[in-house]
Structure 1
């Protein structure tokens, strides 16, 4: 159904079409995808959620992980399962928030290995163990494409097929007159944006990769963020989806106070769907954030049937909620319209959530997360980052590092070695603090350097339940 537009908005779209037609940087598919998105946005077809109709999903809709059937022991059966699978990592993000210039996936996580190295090692291990051929796809953005191609060259001799494709490139819209920023003489990358990971489905199809994989007999794709170290292939989930013919599965996990803004799954008018904080009216926001009513949140680990993606993209049926993202470029107010892959859940048949253990959600968004995964809380084997069973507390310690630690390079330079944090509950570091080697932190630790003072924690220090404001407190 075409969106209904007022005559003024229809005029805007008509002018925009002419403007976009002249942009030779992007394909016809990208042009029409962009125009469609803008038309949907202008028609105001936002989907309004009636709060009273929201229901908590049952265990049939959000399946508890521990009720999944065990995977058959037979290696030949496992190989058959894995030969139906493709792994797709969302690799469009730059590591700018962590002070890096290239793709975030090339930040070193542990033992000199990057996110991408770990992903490749994991899949190689699976392929070697079962004699299967699980390919790896990387969806890049125009920001990460060139760098990723160079990086992928180093895996040329690995036992794994690696494919890359780009998500769409859309022009940023000037708010004032709804013209593409690129047609205003801005020829830099700043004039463009990648329209969110909801674009994974059309971009996958438009790249030709989807058709190629279908012709090889592949059936499911496991989609995850490249910076989520917990997002590894899970045979129990794959087996469950194939057995039950589920076209879409979102992994959710129990919400903690750190995740209150994360999207959650609800049952609504007989369908399962994702509810994001942006869709919630102000008067219900506190209820949305409560851990009592909405106990789970979306990890963005998604399992999707390839035939279903093909059917829905061809039928132009994936109308995910539009997320308007206002920005400013050189003092000009611009708008970028995005969609999220999780919101597609309501368009697939027999879609479910699976309530997975927290270990499947281990994202590295900041240097405080890097501290966790580089510490003795985790071990690394065959590319898999596994939590140390010696830690009694099921929750990770909460870590707050000051702005001095924000960039990866400065974070690494401030630790001679990463402290032992097996028994740490919380750590807060403020100011110009430097850590020596073989330090142990336990309980609740606060370290504050006074303004203008360099505070060095000596080698071998053991700090338990202490507040440190100067060398005399150590």
Structure 2
């Protein structure tokens, strides 16, 4: 561990931290080392900001337009060869707490009684059956989701997929005032610990032994995506392109809309492709970063990475992604957790590229407003794939804002007898105590605001187009 750039005070902090961490029996030696490395790098104040004048817009060689990819051979035997090199990995460490659920977010029901995980399994089953291949599914859990996921995965025991689960690292939260690990100060249970972001996927794949096992089966590429992104399905054209061009890393990016202004973007910087996140942008350039004129694409977090390259870089301890400090509070104690993001690793891989993919490959469900979109007639479901309804003319999805009454999944579901038809909807804003009957159609721009203390019921079969509704008399 290099402490060359640390002040005397910081060196003392690390030395105290080292002896405190050595007594934490809940975590492995690999985790202790990884944690101390991260804290050391953080204290040494590695440059986070980029020099703005050096940023260049990537060329089409670096961010390849999706429609220039070579079509894949129609021969099923060729497709099987491709798929036999692939592993699908879903980031499954998140809890559904924002949507009022306990347990892993991937078990929220998305559509027709099926959860995110059900859909992922059905998609891969379909591929394996169609081409006679064996694409395994890996789930990277956190200590928060591990036990629940093991129970849930049992229901797929008879499917034609090998499902592997492994845990990402577990690191102690740091008390800000004395830099001691929280579990050494008090017994905060799970709240004393944190999973250090999805950048941890690379060392965790190696430390869990999963990477070696996959390489021994002849696997070459892993497709990594968030479990809650319904658009992140296996794409043969992308896989074929990476194998043919020996690209070790590929980030799927997609054109930015005003809803995505905070998302990271790809830049060319000092001759390499690099992810630029909002946290690295100097204050005076934030508005420029958010504009969709200069930075036209953003990171979907659909990543394709060569397994041998992961092994090489993890063993060389070369993946030094930007550190994202995340301040929290636990029982009145201010704590710090240090995280990294998998997208930031792009600059360490050889022949790394972005591919500018259609927006349909980015369909995350982060809130109940997203759930409304995917449960509506805007999408259809077939063989686990959620597809946009061709009857929708506008290429963009409607913007939907639901008030706090709809924030939790259970409340959201109870307020809709059935999900309205929204194929012709541009925007919807709902606040207050609003209840929807069945068979409702919403078109154009619709605002429904119930007056305080008033229960507003939208009747069955109502058709509402370009209207603001404040009471029954407006319907």
State the match for 1:339 in structure 2: 340
Is the counterpart of residue 159 in structure 1 residue 176 in structure 2?
A: no
State the match for 1:396 in structure 2: 397
Question: Match of 1:154, SS?
Answer: helix
CA distance in 2, matches of 1:430, 1:187: 37
CA distance in 2, matches of 1:398, 1:289: 19
CA distance in 2, matches of 1:422, 1:78: 35
1:446-465 alignment to 2 at 5 Å?
A: 446-465=447-466
CA distance in 2, matches of 1:91, 1:216: 23
State the match for 1:2 in structure 2: 2
State the match for 1:110 in structure 2: 111
1:172-321 alignment to 2 at 5 Å?
A: 172-321=173-322
Extract unaligned runs of 5+ from structure 2: none
Is the counterpart of residue 149 in structure 1 residue 150 in structure 2?
A: yes
CA distance in 1, matches of 2:156, 2:118: 9
CA contact (8 A) 2:49 2:282 kept: no
State the match for 2:44 in structure 1: 43
Question: Match of 1:200, SS?
Answer: helix
Q: Deviations over 1:100-132 (max 9, x none)?
A: 011000000000000000000000000000000
Q: Deviations over 1:145-174 (max 9, x none)?
A: 000000000000001000000000000000
CA contact (8 A) 1:424 1:444 kept: yes
CA distance in 2, matches of 1:304, 1:2: 28
CA distance in 2, matches of 1:371, 1:102: 21
- How far off its partner does 1:45 sit? 0.9
Consecutive aligned runs of 4 or more in structure 1 exceeding 2 Å deviation? none
CA distance in 2, matches of 1:52, 1:274: 16
- How far off its partner does 1:47 sit? 3.5
CA distance in 1, matches of 2:301, 2:368: 21
CA contact (8 A) 2:418 2:438 kept: yes
Deviates more, 1:358-367 or 1:41-50: 41-50
- How far off its partner does 1:192 sit? 0.2
- How far off its partner does 1:187 sit? 4.0
CA contact (8 A) 1:46 1:322 kept: no
State the match for 2:363 in structure 1: 362
CA distance in 2, matches of 1:97, 1:34: 27
CA distance in 2, matches of 1:187, 1:294: 42
CA contact (8 A) 1:100 1:407 kept: yes
CA distance in 2, matches of 1:185, 1:278: 31
State the match for 2:137 in structure 1: 136
CA distance in 2, matches of 1:92, 1:236: 28
CA distance in 2, matches of 1:342, 1:235: 21
CA distance in 2, matches of 1:180, 1:201: 24
CA contact (8 A) 2:6 2:43 kept: yes
CA contact (8 A) 2:446 2:468 kept: yes
CA contact (8 A) 1:323 1:337 kept: yes
1:86-97 alignment to 2 at 5 Å?
A: 86-97=87-98
- How far off its partner does 1:48 sit? 3.0
Q: Deviations over 1:357-384 (max 9, x none)?
A: 0000000000000000000000000000
CA distance in 1, matches of 2:48, 2:180: 26
CA distance in 1, matches of 2:2, 2:67: 43
Extract unaligned runs of 5+ from structure 1: none
- How far off its partner does 1:206 sit? 0.2
What is the RMSD computed on CA atoms of the aligned residues? 0.6
CA distance in 2, matches of 1:2, 1:67: 45
Is the counterpart of residue 54 in structure 1 residue 73 in structure 2?
A: no
- How far off its partner does 1:2 sit? 2.5
CA contact (8 A) 1:63 1:354 kept: yes
CA contact (8 A) 1:320 1:339 kept: yes
- How far off its partner does 1:185 sit? 2.0
State the match for 1:34 in structure 2: 35
Question: Match of 1:262, SS?
Answer: coil
CA contact (8 A) 1:253 1:298 kept: yes
User: Please, what TM-score do these two structures have when normalized by structure 2?
Assistant: 0.99
- How far off its partner does 1:7 sit? 1.1
